[in-house]
Amino acid sequence: MRRAIPAQAQSPDTRFLPVETLFKSAVAEGKTPGAVAAVGANGQTVWKGVFGHKALLPTAEPMTWQTLFDMASLTKVLITAPAIMQLYEQGLLQLDDPVCRYLPAFAANGKQDITIRLLLTHYSGLPADVDLSTPWTGKDTAVSLAMNATPEHPPGERFVYSDINFITLGLIVEKLSGLPLDEYAARAILAPLGLKRSFFRPDPVLASAIAPTQFDESHTLLRGVVHDPTTRRMGGVAGHAGLFSCADDMLIYAKALLARRAGKPSAFPLKPETLVLMSTPQQPKGKSDLRGLGWDIATHYSTPRGTVFPASSFGHTGFTGTSLWLVPENETFVLILTNRVHPDGKGNVIALRRDVATAAALALQQS
């Protein structure tokens, strides 16, 4: 069942044979049941591939290019960070404003000095997640837990990747826009880009097109229901996770972002200078963990850059096995979509991301 099936929808470009070999090996070794991936350069897709299976249980199903994936924490950079920056462009917030200016309850337990910029760069000092040790459910409970979270470090002292940061940013979007986050995302980000198969809370009729993840607490296989337990308890929509998407939509997103950032015609709903701000170091002065506004630049999470792409590149990962890494200078990107947590949570694509980025960069150097 772990054996790789023949790759589909692939370019005949032999430069990328090492990339294909890496994916086939990862599937054969059980690192992930399957994958959909693409490489872009100069604003064009130059390679794409489909490998393995989208489901192993209850029955094996081949992966397809059209498969929908739980994007997990890519939600942070695809939806929540750009939503915040749209509000910034509209003058509705400033990056160095204290969060409690917009969410007064957030000031509890010594958080009054945490700013929006510190949330976006993960330098807030907040813990990694809200408490999941008790069986709570409901958005209101999650909001209360986030507002009452106690910092583990002073604001700006150190980089600690925290879902609470982006739960809170999602709440700011809702407060200032007057819309639920998923509705705001659909109107202000997904529709302007023309993305047809990107959404929160997929319609159950789409289940067969979605790559399943793991079994939940009741031993039900999650398929079209978000994998992240906090988002699941919140009803499927949160600032840190919950988006589902597919390769075609992600290619549109990546190309539009890079083109807009370069000042070229693009439907991306942010200004070029805003995208530059988001994708260049914005962490507190003197700190060595480099983060943009949402985007990762150089931290221990930066393995999807590989060993060849420049330090100016940026990207992000998702826990389920998704990643997007972008190189602005030549509008290059590497997209990897997997459900590596299926079926038992034991898959691991950390090395695959790194090695694919390296192999893709070397292939592009041959052009």
Average pLDDT score over the chain: 96
* Interatomic CA distance for residues 333 and 137, integer angstroms: 38
- The DSSP output letter for 79 is I
pLDDT of residue 337: 99
Helices within the chain (DSSP H only): 17-28, 74-75, 81-89, 116-121, 139-147, 163-177, 181-185, 191-193, 229-233, 247-261, 272-278, 350-365
* CATH pick for 76-182 out of 2.50.20, 1.20.58, 1.10.4160, 1.10.3470: 1.20.58
> Is the alpha carbon torsion for 206, 71, 69, 33 positive or negative?
negative
Q: Is the pLDDT of residue 212 over 50?
A: yes
Contact 5, 52 (CB under 8 A): yes
Q: How many alpha carbons fall within 13 Å on the CB side of residue 354?
A: 8
* Interatomic CA distance for residues 46 and 59, integer angstroms: 33
Which residue is associated with the tokens 């010594």?
Answer: 110
H or E stretch at 51: strand 44-55
Q: What are the phi and psi torsion angles at 338 (to 5°)?
A: -140, 165
pLDDT of residue 11: 53
Tell me whether the omega of the peptide bond preceding residue 154 falls within 30 degrees of 0, making it cis. no
* Interatomic CA distance for residues 305 and 298, integer angstroms: 9
- What pLDDT, in 10s, does the model give residues 307-326? 999 999 999 999 999 999 99
* CA dist list (Å): 150 to 46, 119, 137, 146: 47, 14, 20, 9
Structure tokens at 323: 């990643």
Average pLDDT over residues 291-301: 98
pLDDT of residue 9: 47
43: left (phi over 0), alpha (psi -120 to 50) or beta: left
- What pLDDT, in 10s, does the model give residues 184-203? 999 999 999 999 999 999 99
Q: What is the dihedral of CA 221, 236, 35, 121, to 10 degrees?
A: -140
pLDDT of residue 13: 78
Which residue is associated with the tokens 């003058």?
Answer: 91
Average pLDDT over residues 313-342: 98
* Interatomic CA distance for residues 31 and 104, integer angstroms: 44
- What pLDDT, in 10s, does the model give residues 135-194? 999 999 999 999 999 999 999 999 999 999 999 999 999 999 999 999 999 999 999 999
Contact 294, 83 (CB under 8 A): no
CA distance between the termini of the chain:
37
- What pLDDT, in 10s, does the model give residues 107-137? 999 999 999 999 999 999 999 999 999 999 9
* Interatomic CA distance for residues 236 and 85, integer angstroms: 23
Q: Where are the beta strands (DSSP E) in 285-346?
A: 290-291, 296-298, 314-318, 322-327, 332-338
pLDDT of residue 254: 98
pLDDT of residue 7: 47
Q: Is the pLDDT of residue 299 over 60?
A: yes
Extents of the domains making up the chain: 14-73+206-365, 76-182
Q: Is the pLDDT of residue 12 over 70?
A: no
pLDDT of residue 5: 45
* Interatomic CA distance for residues 301 and 77, integer angstroms: 14
Enumerate long-range contacts of 289-292, CB under 8 Å, 24 or more apart: 289/158, 289/159, 291/120, 291/121, 291/122, 291/123, 291/159, 292/121
Q: Is the pLDDT of residue 50 over 80?
A: yes
Q: Is the pLDDT of residue 265 over 60?
A: yes
14-73+206-365 carries CATH number 3.40.710.10: yes
